[in-house]
Amino acid sequence: MAASKIQIPLKVVIHKQEERVLYAEANSDFVHIDILFSFLTMPMGTIVRLLSRPASNSSQQPTIGSLNNLYKSVANLEAKYFAQGACKDILLNTRNSAEDECRKLKINVNDISPIEYYTCEDMDCTEKSYTAFFSMYDGVKCKNCSKMLNRCANIHNIFENDVQGVFVNPAESFLITNDLHVIPNVTASILETSESTDIEVLEEKTLQIGWSEILDLLKYSILSRTPLTSSRRESIITDKSVQSLSSLMSTEEIIITDKLVQSLNSHMSTEEIISFKKMEVKVLVQKSKNKIILVHSSEDFIEFLFSFLPLPLGRVIGLVGKGYAPALSVENLHQSVSNLRVDGYFNWKEMKDMLLSPKLSMLYQCPEQLFPLEEDRIPKFCQMKAGLPRILGQV
């Protein structure tokens, strides 16, 4: 069945008088928590792309700071401004380093096609070269012979396993609070989460959650302090808890460059900056308001800006630090992963690390990147089958 047609039940407890969701219960069916945690692995460019579609219950287009403008700038640039023909597609359709895991989700809102690997059209080049270059995008030149990488490779993943679930242990059940704190489902947690001792005002409902509802939840996890309430189909979209990032940040932090840098540095130790290259830019400033109108820069600064699009959401939260941006619910989601023990709640430690500090997808590391980002491992072509390289795994 197509992901857009699948629906899963979600039990919620609602405060009838205040018409808000207090919490949702994710029982031993691990589907809900895995989907929720997968938000942290999504690149920022992917989130912008998914949320730029018309909302299911509103014409409102969510604004994620200035990332929408950055994404549109890439879309509007002609191909001649990019180093290779595939570069534009690489930025507009950012890849997720946890893509293999997310494809196991019962509902995967990221509808990008599976990764295909392309090797040199010249088989002699691939067979005889010590290093066989490849690309995840068609239209890239081979570094060995300058011919095109347009021969599709077969993929065989030797790391497949029979573990149930994706990120969390399916034997555990959890509560999801209105602001996306995820906690173990125990009696004490229920009493603490309910915020009310008067059970007469509480009502239990079972909602059917599908593809569009998950997209709404993704949107409100970034834009709202009460995403469970805001994402309900009956919700009024003009909920006061829903705001754009730019409206929550002070104007001074956004437009005064030196103060923004100082503020960012206060949340990040200098040891975390892997390299620093001075990038000079010319700015046009409106003196009366001390406001930067536009910037004239070379390609290195543009490369740095475009490198924001492949950054996974969980890594952005980890880099910037809790409390720098407005108190958004997605921060609570990130903190919940941090608070949960590996033993008992996750399938293995690598799953928790994948959520807290997701890597860049392979080949997305930018030469101008200043932040301590790790790139996913690159597949190795190690044998031939039916005239095509066969990928046996990652090294």
At residue 365, the pLDDT reads 78
Strand ranges for the chain from DSSP E? 8-15, 20-26, 118-120, 134-135, 140-141, 148-152, 154-155, 174-177, 182-184, 202-209, 281-286, 291-297, 379-385, 388-394
- The tally of CA atoms less than 13 A away on the side-chain side of residue 78 is 1
Name the 3-class secondary structure at 328.
coil
21 Cβ contact list (under 8 Å, min separation 6) = 12, 13, 14, 15, 178, 226, 228, 229, 232
Cβ–Cβ under 8 Å, residues 170 and 28: yes
341 exposure class (CB count in 10 Å sphere: 0-12, 13-18, 19+): exposed
Q: What is the pLDDT along the chain (395 residues), one digit of tens a residue?
A: 555 688 888 889 888 888 888 889 886 555 788 999 999 999 999 999 999 876 544 545 677 878 999 999 999 999 888 887 778 888 999 999 999 889 888 899 998 888 888 888 887 787 766 555 677 777 678 878 888 888 877 655 544 555 567 888 877 788 899 999 998 887 545 555 555 556 788 888 988 888 888 999 999 998 888 999 988 744 433 344 444 444 433 333 333 334 433 343 434 444 445 555 677 888 888 888 888 888 888 888 888 889 999 999 999 998 876 655 555 789 999 999 999 988 878 878 899 999 999 998 877 877 666 777 888 876 654 444 444 444 433 43
pLDDT of residue 70: 94
pLDDT of residue 308: 92
Nearest-5° Cα angle at 364, 363 to 368: 120
DSSP state of 114: P
Give the per-residue pLDDT at 337.
Answer: 94
What is the 3 state secondary structure string of 62-111? CCCCCHHHHHHHHHHCCHHHCCCCCHHHHHHCCCCCCHHHHCCCCCCCCC
Crossing angle (nearest 10°) for helices 329-339 and 313-320: 90
d(CA 229, CA 242): 11
- Reported for 87-90, long-range contacts at CB under 8 A and 24+ positions apart, including other chains, are 89/137, 90/136, 90/137, 90/363, 90/364
Ramachandran class of 64: left when φ > 0, alpha when ψ lies in -120 to 50, beta otherwise: beta
Distance, CA of 391 to chain centre: 26
Amino acid letter for position 135: S
Residue keyed to tokens 């011919």 = 147
Q: In this predicted structure, what is the pLDDT of residue 265?
A: 40
